[in-house]
């Protein structure tokens, strides 16, 4: 890594990106990237702890990116919950408003994303604990009037002791607006029908995402692996069946005509979709707790 020290900051080349960070953050290593930024692990030499440093990708290139950056920063500052990632610091290396173009968020460092854990053979206790923590974090957001909108395995991080935190609030909203207005929304596989079809939505779109994540943890495969918008909707109705007339009446006319002209699907039963043998067996600890309870 090449370093160019300048005053309070120094620059490090991380892949194709240059990180210009405070000197307190050392040993930068790339650990992930996405639509909203690049993340490095680092050692905070002031606090003496490992941290995650996220550089937002061109946050002010247009209004959409600027809103996304602002949302993430404000929500991270406001939310305080053990299952939501904690913001430790935020800084920019630029010295004036005219130059201001880079934004860095420093957060607590976790061991892995749920992507790396979701296909493991988790026992009942660990799977239940992970899902419980996701629901606790989401419940806290919803109680504050926040809809995450982008819940997916890559936006959930875990530690080796099974503690879990939700992150990435660039798409979170505090008001109900039309999803189709946002060019980049929740990852397709985890999108609720309201999202796919451009309907008004509320907090329960996050619970749909949790259900898709849970299904993937149980079956070790994506529940609705759509190749595009249309294929995603087809996957949903093939499994869950053709929606009710009440649901159809909530759609925009053009969308309703399209949906109603699709073949009728009866859906797959829960028992067929998730047979008993697919669920993890109790761990020894679960069995012990159950035995103690019976006593």
Per residue in 267-291, pLDDT tens? 999 999 999 888 887 766 655 454 4
Question: Does 6 reside within a domain?
Answer: no
Top pLDDT among 192 and 293 is at 192
Domain end (from 78, 108, 138): 108
Helices 284-294 and 124-143, axial angle in degrees (round to 10): 80
Contact present, 40 and 50 (Cβ < 8 Å): no
pTM: 0.82
Distance CA 217, CA 39 (A): 25
Strand-pairing partners, residue 11, are: 4, 20
pLDDT(173) > 60: no
- What is the average per-residue pLDDT within 155-160? 91
pLDDT at 103 over 80: yes
pLDDT band at 79 (very low <50, low <70, confident <90, very high): confident
Regarding whether 124 and 93 lie in a shared domain, the answer is: no
150 among known catalytic residues: yes
For the segment 7-30, the average pLDDT, to the nearest whole number, is 91
Note whether 55 and 70 are same-domain residues.
Answer: yes
Q: What is the CATH number of the domain that holds 127?
A: 1.10.510.10
Which residue matches tokens 């919950």?
81
* Cβ atoms within 10 Å of 187's Cβ, excluding its own: 16
**Tokens (6 digits) for 180:** 């189709």
Give the three-state DSSP class for 212: helix
Domain match, 117 and 94 both:
no
Same domain, 178 and 272: yes
Final residue in a domain of this structure, among 58, 87, 108: 108
**pLDDT tens per residue across span 221-244:** 999 999 888 899 999 999 999 999
- Pick from 196, 229, 191: nearest CA to 210: 191
Residue 63 in any domain: the answer is yes
Angle between helices 204-219 and 124-143 (to 10 degrees): 170
- Mean pLDDT (whole number) for 16-41: 87
Containing 89, the helix (H) or strand (E) segment is strand 87-91
Q: Which of residues 293 and 110 earns the better pLDDT score?
A: 110
Based on the fold, state whether residues 146 and 256 are members of the same structural domain: yes
| Angle, alpha carbons 210-212-218 (nearest 5°) | 100
Angstrom CA distances, 238 to 223, 230, 232, 267, stand at 11, 12, 10, 6
- Say yes or no to pLDDT of 162 above 80: yes
CB 79 within 8 A of CB 140: yes
174 is a domain residue: yes
Residue carrying the six token digits 């405070």: 22
Final residue of a structural domain among 64, 88, 108? 108
Q: What is the pLDDT of residue 284?
A: 61
Residue 1 has pLDDT above 50, yes or no: no
Which CATH number characterizes residue 79's domain? 3.30.200.20
- Domain presence at residue 29: yes
Write down the pLDDT at residue 24.
Answer: 95
Q: Does residue 46 sit within a domain? A: yes
**Distance (Å, whole) CA 186 – CA 195:** 8
DSSP secondary structure letter of residue 282: P
User: Which residue range(s) make up the domain with 141?
Assistant: 112-278
Q: Are residues 266 and 238 in the same domain?
A: yes
- Output the pLDDT for position 17: 87
96 shares its domain with 118: no
> Residue 158: pLDDT above 60?
yes
Question: Does the structure show a pLDDT above 60 at 181?
Answer: no
**Which is the catalytic residue, given 150, 161, 168, 206?**
150
Q: Are residues 127 and 255 in the same domain?
A: yes
Does any domain span residue 144?
A: yes
DSSP-derived secondary structure letter, 101: -
Same domain, 192 and 274: yes
The closest alpha carbon to 119, from 285, 291, 280, belongs to 280
Q: Which residue has the tokens 């790396």?
A: 116
Which pair of tokens denotes residue 139? 């419940």
Number of domains in the chain: 2
- Asked if residue 219 and residue 91 are part of one domain, the reply reads no
Decide if 7 is inside a domain: no
């Amino acid at each position: 890594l090449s370093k160019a020290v300048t005053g309070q900051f120094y620059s490090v080349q991380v892949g194709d990106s240059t990180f210009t960070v405070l000197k307190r953050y050392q040993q930068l290593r790339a650990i992930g990237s996405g639509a909203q930024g690049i993340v490095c692990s680092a050692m905070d030499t002031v606090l003496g702890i490992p941290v995650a440093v996220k550089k937002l990708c061109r946050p002010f290139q247009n209004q959409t990116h600027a809103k996304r950056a602002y949302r993430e920063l404000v929500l991270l500052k406001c939310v305080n919950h053990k299952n939501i990632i904690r913001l430790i610091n935020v800084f920019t290396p630029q010295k004036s408003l005219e130059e201001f173009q880079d934004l860095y968020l420093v957060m607590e460092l976790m061991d892995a994303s749920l992507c790396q854990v979701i296909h493991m053979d988790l026992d009942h206790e660990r799977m239940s604990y992970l899902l419980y923590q996701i629901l606790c974090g989401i419940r806290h957001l919803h109680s504050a009037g926040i809809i995450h909108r982008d819940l997916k395995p890559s936006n959930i991080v875990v530690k080796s002791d099974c503690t879990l935190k939700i992150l990435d609030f660039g798409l979170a909203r505090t008001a109900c607006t039309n999803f189709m207005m946002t060019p980049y929304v929740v990852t397709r596989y985890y999108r609720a029908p309201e999202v796919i079809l451009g309907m008004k939505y509320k907090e329960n779109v996050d619970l749909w995402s949790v259900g898709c994540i849970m299904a993937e943890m149980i079956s070790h495969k994506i529940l609705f692996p759509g190749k595009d918008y249309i294929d995603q909707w087809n996957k949903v109705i093939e499994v869950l069946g053709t929606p009710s007339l009440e649901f159809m009446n909530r759609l925009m006319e053009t969308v309703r005509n399209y949906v109603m002209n699709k073949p009728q699907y009866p859906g797959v039963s829960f028992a067929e979709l998730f047979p008993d043998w697919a669920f993890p067996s109790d761990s020894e600890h679960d069995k012990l707790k159950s035995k103690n309870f019976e006593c």
